Amino acid sequence: MSDIAIDCNGISKQYRIGEQETYRVLRDVIVETAKSPFRLLRGALTNSNGNGHAPAGSGAPSHIWALNDVSFQVQRGEVVGIIGPNGAGKSTLLKILSRITKPTRGHAVINGRVGSLLEVGTGFHPELSGRENIYLNGAILGMRKAEIDRKFDEIVAFAEVEKFIDTPVKRYSSGMYVRLAFAVAAHMETEVLVVDEVLAVGDADFQKKCLGKMGDVARHGRTVLFVSHNMQSVARLCQRALLLHQGTIKASGNTAEVMAQYLSCGLGLTTERVWEDLRTAPGNDVVRLESVRIKNAGGQTQGVFDSRHEVAIEIGYSVQQEVNDLAAEFVIYDDSGNLLFTSANQYDDDVFTLHRVGSYVTECWIPGNLLTEGTFMIRVSIVQIQVPVQTHVFEENILVFQVVDNMDGDSARGRIAHNYPGLIRPKLEWATTFNPDRDSAAS
Amino acid sequence: MSQSVSPTEHAFPTFRIDPPSRWTAIGFRELWEYRELLYFLTWRDIKVRYKQTVLGAAWAIIQPLFMMLVFSLFFGRLAKVPSDGIPYPVFSFCALLPWQLFAHALSESSDSLVGNQNLITKVYFPRLVVPISAVLGGVVDFAIAFVILLLLMLYFGIVPGWAIVTLPGFILLAILTALSVGLWLSALNVKYRDVRYTMNFLIQFWLFITPVAYPSSIVPVQWRALYGLNPMAGVVEGFRWALLGKSQPPGAMLWVSIVVVLLLFVGGLSYFRRMEQEFADIV
């Protein structure tokens, strides 16, 4: 019974839509009062926000449930990953469990002190030195001064900022700043640790170090709740995972199984778009999009690809007026917004001939062993490439797909299990020669 | 939750997370547990306040000193405002000290929650720590300026009597007054940003209704108790009485002030505690 570290019972959280507008100016209240004293009274009784922007006639503002009836238990010493697409409610759940915000309904019981790491460097002050910020940040995270004193050297060593410890952090490089901030948080000694996406900071080496530190934390019998978009780190750290989607738990259990379910059902991915009604399709009177999709070598629409396999982008469009020199092109971004490359079908012969009225389908094959693991966004455009240059279609984030690199050993990553950074992951030829005599000659 | 959590089985504290409730305990114990955070936030405010200024902590003296000079010239010398037989510079400076403590604490604390929203939306700690540390941040300035007051008293040959033992009480009352109003305003400011724009006006207005430039003895006797509704009136006159010894003890006015502060404080605390449950969502 006491082995349960976190016990969530029907946690629900409701937010008003347009959350950023909820702080009011007193004038609004006065105007409302003047207009209708009864409405204000009623508003006060029902605790509505009454901001006057609600749909006409309805009176009630629109709400969304960021979390809806979420129940789960975490055993002490368990490391549980929470995965799910953006807006699934992951961060809201962590905020409730770390007592930053209150649930609208339901309750949770937590056995042990909770350390939350929703952001690195919360409360860091640029004017203060590294040393001073360690104490300040530590206190904010709920650490005792004695505890910080004891761990001070360890924190500084972990952050690798020994030389700059008495320099104001505003003079730090962003890498140093993040390292120091993470180092403080990583040395919290709470029984329960709640971590949100913070490992995605710093350079690759430091990320590896952070991941190692989180692994240590887990091995010391502390309970960790871990949110990340990085499937690799979830897979490496967590025995168990929860899949959140639209505020509810869609799956829970063994990490590999939950991840497989997440990837296979393609939550958060857009693999196909079809516009039935051409009049509302993206484009103009010359060209309109009819469909776009991502497919595999077998021609099936798919959202998650093995990094070794090729990926096809298919663009269907309708030419409404005869036009010359039309090219379809796409641009591929990773989830940090880096543009990887552009490709256009201008080398295709018939593009330079007259495009007659009718439907066209063009497809482009991205070879296997090129994309790295991660989520990718596609922007599609259809342009007239000769003067006057005209863009007929321009659609951002029209398709979203994911590439995974499993550990079979014959992808570009090979048998290397640790972080394998890079915007692309080509499998390149290596040639290695071996000369056994040279070493012995040297010694 | 069907099973009850037995507290004896482990040494860990148990937290229960519930939906917002109308009444919450003040949570003094938790506040005490976070006393180091209170210390560090106060220390941060003090440390950062005069960074990158040429004059540094001298600002703590310059402001009340110049106010005193202007008051002495215009009110004391030209307008001949009475000062209960005390040399006017000491008379006004002695009142400016608690006033500055109050005004600083009030403006800092009312903006404190909004100013620390990055903390409030990312980490849990008792939210009361924020306005309290904002209020305490002014105490150092007060202490620095207090040395100047002692020098002034030395210069004018004023020796405090036994009443000086009550001085800490009046300092506490000034802090409590600022904190009480600060609790209300900081919580209101989260929801209504109007508070920010009212502050300048409020502080000026409050200065005029507080006996800083004039003695409360110019208020007719039958109205003095009513005058005590402004708690700073009791504080300022109490300061003069405790330090300078020559004016009358504040009497009924002081008691009215104390009652008003206690009411404001208790009300502010409960309003703050009720509102803090949604700070992170609306700040």
State whether A110 and B124 contact (CB < 8 Å): no
Distance to chain A for B68, nearest Cα, Å:
33
Q: What tens digit of pLDDT does each residue of B225-251 get?
A: 888 899 999 899 888 899 887 666 777
State whether B123 and A132 contact (CB < 8 Å): no
Distance to chain A for B42, nearest Cα, Å:
10
Best interface-test mutation with B: which of A117, A140, A148 has the largest number of B CBs within 10 A? A140
Residues of chain B contacting A122 with CB distance shorter than 8 Å: 118-119, 122-123
Residues of chain A contacting B282 with CB distance shorter than 8 Å: 22-23
Of B14, B48, B119, which is closest to A111 when you measure between CB atoms? B14
Residue B10 lies in a domain: no
Distance to chain A for B103, nearest Cα, Å:
23
Residue B264 lies in a domain: yes
Per-residue pLDDT of chain A (443 residues; tens, 9 = 90+): 468 899 999 999 988 765 444 455 666 666 666 655 555 445 444 443 433 333 333 444 578 889 999 999 999 888 899 988 767 888 899 999 999 999 999 999 999 888 888 877 788 898 899 999 999 999 988 888 999 999 999 999 988 889 999 999 989 887 788 888 888 888 888 888 888 876 655 566 777 777 788 778 778 888 889 887 666 677 778 889 999 988 999 999 988 788 777 766 666 677 888 888 888 788 888 899 999 999 999 999 888 888 889 999 999 999 998 888 888 999 998 866 678 999 998 766 665 677 889 999 999 999 999 998 888 889 999 988 877 778 888 887 788 888 887 766 677 777 776 678 888 989 899 999 988 886 665 54
Interface pTM, i.e. ipTM: 0.83
d(C-alpha A55, C-alpha A45), whole Å: 20
Of A15, A107, A144, which is closest to B18 when you measure between CB atoms? A107
The tokens describing B139, both together, are 């105490």
- For chains A and B, what is the number of CB pairs under 8 angstroms? 135
The helix (H) or strand (E) run that includes residue A304 is strand A304-306
Structure confidence at residue A132 (pLDDT): 92
Q: How many domains does chain B have?
A: 1
State whether A139 and B190 contact (CB < 8 Å): no
Residue of chain A minimizing CA distance to B5: A2
The backbone torsions φ and ψ at residue A142, rounded to the nearest 5 degrees and listed phi first, read 90, 15
Distance to chain B for A3, nearest Cα, Å:
9
Residue B75 lies in a domain: yes
Give the residue among A359, A351, A272, A349 at the shortest CA–CA distance from A313: A272
Structure confidence at residue A319 (pLDDT): 92
Structure confidence at residue A50 (pLDDT): 37
Q: Measuring CA to CA, how many Å separate A367 from each of A306, A344, A370, A412, A426?
A: 11, 15, 6, 13, 10
Largest CA distance in chain B: 77
Of B12, B44, B191, which is closest to A112 when you measure between CB atoms? B12
DSSP B23-88: -----HHHHHHTHHHHHHHHHHHHHHHTTT-SSGGGHHHHHHHHHHHHHIIIIIIIS----TTS-H
Structure confidence at residue A23 (pLDDT): 55
Structure confidence at residue A352 (pLDDT): 62
Per-residue pLDDT of chain B (283 residues; tens, 9 = 90+): 333 444 444 467 888 888 887 777 777 888 888 999 999 999 998 888 887 787 877 888 888 889 899 999 998 888 888 888 888 999 999 999 999 999 999 999 999 999 898 889 888 899 999 999 999 988 888 999 999 999 999 998 888 888 889 899 999 999 999 999 999 999 999 988 888 888 889 999 999 999 998 988 888 888 888 888 999 998 998 888 998 876 667 778 888 999 999 999 999 999 999 888 888 888 7
Q: Measuring CA to CA, how many Å separate B282 from each of A21, A23, A406?
A: 9, 6, 43
Distance to chain B for A23, nearest Cα, Å:
5
Residue of chain B minimizing CA distance to A25: B192
Residue B246 lies in a domain: yes
Residues of chain A contacting B20 with CB distance shorter than 8 Å: 102
State whether B10 and A7 contact (CB < 8 Å): no
State whether A99 and B124 contact (CB < 8 Å): yes
Structure confidence at residue A336 (pLDDT): 65
State whether A25 and B5 contact (CB < 8 Å): no
Distance of CA A2 to the CA centre of its chain: 34
Distance to chain A for B129, nearest Cα, Å:
11
Residue B4 lies in a domain: no
Q: Which domains does chain A have, with CATH numbers?
A: 22-61 (no CATH), 68-264 (3.40.50.300), 272-404 (2.70.50.60)
State whether B280 and A110 contact (CB < 8 Å): no
Structure confidence at residue A263 (pLDDT): 67
Distance of CA B248 to the CA centre of its chain: 24
Structure confidence at residue A2 (pLDDT): 60
The helix (H) or strand (E) run that includes residue B17 is strand B14-17
d(C-alpha B257, C-alpha B98), whole Å: 15
Structure confidence at residue A198 (pLDDT): 64
State whether B17 and A109 contact (CB < 8 Å): yes
Residues of chain B contacting A1 with CB distance shorter than 8 Å: 3, 5-6, 9
CB atoms within 10 A of CB B244: 26
The backbone torsions φ and ψ at residue A373, rounded to the nearest 5 degrees and listed phi first, read -75, 150
Residue B24 lies in a domain: no
State whether A1 and B125 contact (CB < 8 Å): no
Residues of chain A contacting B118 with CB distance shorter than 8 Å: 122-123
Residue B104 lies in a domain: yes
Distance of CA A317 to the CA centre of its chain: 31
Residue B131 lies in a domain: yes
Residue B232's domain comprises 55-282
Residues of chain B contacting A15 with CB distance shorter than 8 Å: 281
